[in-house]
Amino acid sequence: MSALVGTMGALLAKLDISASLLVLAACGCYIGLPFARPMGAGRAVLVFAGSSLICAKAGAVLGAAVVIHWPAMAAAGDIAGLIATGLGLMFHPLLSGLAQALPSYLSRRAA
């Protein structure tokens, strides 16, 4: 278990994502969960984890861009966390729909 924690910590450090930002993105994904398409448990875990990581990284990048362009927004608090939460709320249902539709699309395309 400690090897998994170390690997996840190294991944977050490599992607330049703080743990608090990942938690906020996961909270946004959890709030968006009722709007996601139903799927199998394994695929749902992978979609949730993937959308949490993507939204955390996008929140970090967009948060830095917002602070650069509007310096007054830096005083408002954790802008990156707010952006990551909002992205998680919207992106998790979109990614689950894509994960549900992509296999059938690819099988039709191959045939």
pLDDT tens-place string over residues 4-47? 778 878 888 888 888 888 899 999 999 988 888 888 888 888 88
Check whether 77 has a pLDDT greater than 70.
no
Question: What is the value of pTM for the model shown?
Answer: 0.80
Position 28 scores a pLDDT of 92
Q: Is 100 exposed, middle or buried (0-12, 13-18, 19+ CB in 10 A)?
A: middle
- Give the range of the structural domain holding residue 63, as residue numbers without chain letter: 17-110
Alpha-carbon distance of 60 to 32, in angstroms, equals: 20
Predicted confidence at residue 15, as pLDDT, reads 81
Residues 87, 44: contact at Cβ < 8 Å? no
How far is the C-alpha of 72 from the C-alpha of 95, rounded, in Å? 33
Domain annotation covers residue 9? no
* Structural domain contains residue 39: yes
The domain tally of the chain equals 1
Residue 6 lies in a domain: no
In a domain, 38, yes or no: yes
Distance of CA 34 to the CA centre of its chain: 16
Domain membership of residue 36 (yes or no) is yes
Residue 91 corresponds to which tokens in the numbers above? 């992106």
Look at residue 11 and tell me if it is in a domain.
Answer: no
